[in-house]
Homo-oligomer: A and B are copies of this chain.
Amino acid sequence: MTFDQWTRQVLDRVESALDHYLPAADVQPAPLHDAMRYAVLGGGKRVRPLLCHAAGELTNAAPEALDAAACALEMIHVYSLVHDDMPCMDDDDMRRGKPTVHVKYDEPTALLVGDALQSQAFVTLTSDVFDAQHQASLVRELALASGSIGMAGGQAIDLASVGHALTREQLETMHRLKTGALLRAAVRMGALAGETPSADTLAALDKYAAAVGLAFQVVDDILDVTADSATLGKTAGKDAKDGKPTYVSIIGLDASRALAQQLRADAHAALEPFGARAQRLAELADLVVNRVS
């Protein structure tokens, strides 16, 4: 199977699974469920679901288990986008090529959609495709990655940093939490969804995820200044306009491009112990670095 075929297959599975794990649009309260589905379905690169499925190949995880873990990850990711786009945060009108939730519906709905998607992620991880041991370890992994010492904490550091000159280390700490923690969780949860991974396996995956997570952000910063809004599906040039520190603003465009390639090489190096079983993870590192949107 080519990488493209594999990707398409996983995306199809995950889209069906999201449809399954989200409450149907006619379940009460229907307007909330309609808005949750609007936020989640039919858009996004689904990077976290892809990483989760790819990592699951290392521990022979069942595809159905990976689907559920991938859906939980995507629900958390989307909840964070919905809240980040709200007027009191980044105040953005466009996401994944569509009006943001607070524009399409209203602010209270956006707040509740985010809140309810977070809960739904944990409902999904405690479905019966997992035994209790897997449910417990996956919930802990996702909750830690989402909360104050993970994604939400990174968002807090990001907000505090607007208009301030950050050092490269401070920028890295912020991204390690804001986007890195959930990408790392995607890789680890894929592995944890199967046969219990060894400490060495998890350590190698952490190295891989750290490189891919940082690369993802460096490329985001590059695209913010080089791509247009239509291609990105969100407002381009926003970080520069908002005075947010980025890799491009701190080390420049050329050095940012070189850094992205170095991180790609680091990600590949971390996968060496796994040989061919890590093919999809290696290809995903390439995808993250070479993407144009």
Listed in ascending order, the chain A residues whose CB lies under 8 Å from chain B are 23, 27-29, 31-33, 36, 79-80, 83, 86-89, 107-109, 111-112, 114-116, 118-120, 122-123, 125-126, 132-133, 135-137, 139-140, 142-144, 146-150, 152-153, 155-157, 159-160, 177
Contacts and interface: CB of A to CB of B under 8 A. Distances in A.
A36 B148 CA distance: 9
A88 B83 CA distance: 13
Nearest to A86: B111
B149 A126 contact: no
A32 B132 contact: no
A257 B149 CA distance: 46
13 contacts: A23-B149, A29-B160, A31-B160, A83-B115, A86-B88, A108-B159, A115-B147, A116-B152, A119-B146, A123-B140, A123-B144, A126-B136, A135-B139
How many chain copies? 2
Given A126-B139, A144-B123, A147-B123, A112 B23 contact: no
- State the majority secondary structure of interface residues on A: helix
Given A28-B153, A32-B152, A132-B133, A120 B147 contact: yes
Q: Which of A126, A148, A149 has the most CB of B within 10 A?
A: A148
Contacts of A119: 118, 143-144, 146-148, 150, 152
Contacts of A125: 139
Q: Which of A29, A79, A112, A116 has the most CB of B within 10 A?
A: A29
Contacts of A109: 156, 159
Q: Which of A33, A87, A111 has the most CB of B within 10 A?
A: A111
B118 A115 contact: yes
